[in-house]
Amino acid sequence: MDSKPGAAEKPAEGEGLVLPRVALLIDDPQERERLGAMLRHASYDVCALPSHGDAVSALRELAPDCIIVQGSRAEDEVGLISAIRADQGIDRAPIIALTSEASHDGGVRALRAGADLCLAAPCRDTELLTNIDAQLRLWRLQAELQRQLDLNQALLSKLKVDLRLGQQVQRSFLPPFQLRTANFMLEARFMPSGDLSGDYFDYRLITPERVAVFLADVSGHGVGSALLAGRMKAFFDENFRRAHRPRLLLERLNRVLIELGDHYHIATAVFLHIDVVETILTYASAGHRSLYLLDTEASTHTALPATGPALGMFEEFEVNESSMGFLPGRNRLAAYTDGLVEFKLPGGAWFTEDQFRDTVLLPRAGMPIEQYVESLLAGSREMNQYRPWEDDLSLIVIDF
């Protein structure tokens, strides 16, 4: 005899084996009874009911793991499948359609309506059992994949929240992007290429006449680079008053990175000390790109190249220190990280620092400082065909 809709209850967990529940929606009562007996013998929990009437409501209560549909007419079968798939209260259980039409048209229509598999009726019991098992395995796999996807989405949402917090924290490490005093005018920009940046810059007025400037570029992107940049922030806060000896600061900073262990990051960095009373600029550069000291009245420039290797590469680290005099009130120093000049041109060739210097940095040196900084960014964007920068970008310009 057919079981009544909803009569077959799944055993609660811990009370025994939970059998897969198969719902039979078959018009022919004899075929419905025969398939029900065969499936119960094969250890399925069977719920059999006619395909007509309010079958969809019954299915919502049954929550079957698999649904087998066979209507007396193809139109009825297709309509029932469409109704099942349209009901939001029924989980996406697999539907196997048994079509008795001689042509394949009924099967095609059933598949289009939402059936997962169509078998020609009558089919052998072994064939039906094999396909039910395959559909159940596939359904469980899809359910597990969906569960993992939902879990990953939840983790991704949390990660996005954490990254936003990380961005806020990282930006809080940076000093104001503008400085105006009687002796110094400074403009800075910070543009990470991703959520977190390996760039870090800082400056500090030691006295009204002396300023320390620091710029660093940690290799790579993401959390590891950002954490190392944060460590450099702490180092600068602890040591900026010693910036008149930039060589010693870089040697100490190299030791800090080495002692952090195998983090697989290196960093370029530069320390500068500018004294407008002694009219002396002192700097040391660990593998960093050249800085440019511009004489805005004489329209000349001096490149300040690296004076030693990058940080974090060698335990035995030596870097030189360079000092030079200047005439107060006519100097502009430009310093930046790789993102401003390191990208490929449309033809595939790399844009070079010399191109940037000769076409953007030097010709526009007479602009007011704020306009000059924006012009450097605009020139880089133009050369890069307005594509996103591929690397973190930090830029500092200081007049003194």
Confidence band (pLDDT; 50, 70, 90) for 8? Answer: very low
Say which CATH topology domain 174-399 has.
Answer: Phosphatase 2c; domain 1 (3.60.40)
The stretch 52-66 carries a mean pLDDT of: 86
Report how far apart, in Å, the C-alpha atoms of 72 and of each of 52, 99, 121, 242, 320 are.
10, 9, 12, 92, 92
Confidence band (pLDDT; 50, 70, 90) for 103? Answer: low
Give CA 296 to chain center in angstroms: 43
CATH entry 3.10.180.10 includes domain 21-146: no
How far apart are alpha carbons 282 and 288 in whole angstroms?
15
Confidence band (pLDDT; 50, 70, 90) for 398? Answer: very high
Query: For the ranges 9-13, 301-305, 374-378, 382-386, which has the lowest average pLDDT?
Result: 9-13
Quick one: pLDDT at residue 101? 56
Question: Per the confidence metrics, is the pTM higher than 0.85?
Answer: no
Q: Is pLDDT at 99 greater than 90 in this prediction?
A: no
Quick one: pLDDT at residue 175? 95
The stretch 259-277 carries a mean pLDDT of: 91
Label each residue of 348-380 as H, E or C: CCECCHHHHHHHHHCCCCCCCHHHHHHHHHHHH
How far apart are alpha carbons 57 and 92 in whole angstroms?
15
Residues spanned by CATH 3.40.50.2300 within the chain? 21-146
Confidence band (pLDDT; 50, 70, 90) for 261? Answer: confident
Quick one: pLDDT at residue 43? 95
Q: State percent of the chain over pLDDT 90.
A: 62
Residues 6+ apart with CB under 8 A from 194: 221, 222, 392
The stretch 338-344 carries a mean pLDDT of: 91
Query: For the ranges 6-10, 36-40, 207-211, 392-396, which has the lowest average pLDDT?
Result: 6-10
CB 200 within 8 A of CB 232: yes
The stretch 254-266 carries a mean pLDDT of: 87
Q: State percent of the chain over pLDDT 70.
A: 94
Average pLDDT in the chain: 89
The stretch 69-86 carries a mean pLDDT of: 87
Q: Is pLDDT at 169 greater than 80 in this prediction?
A: no
Residues spanned by CATH 3.60.40.10 within the chain? 174-399
Quick one: pLDDT at residue 326? 97
Tokens of 317: 């680290």
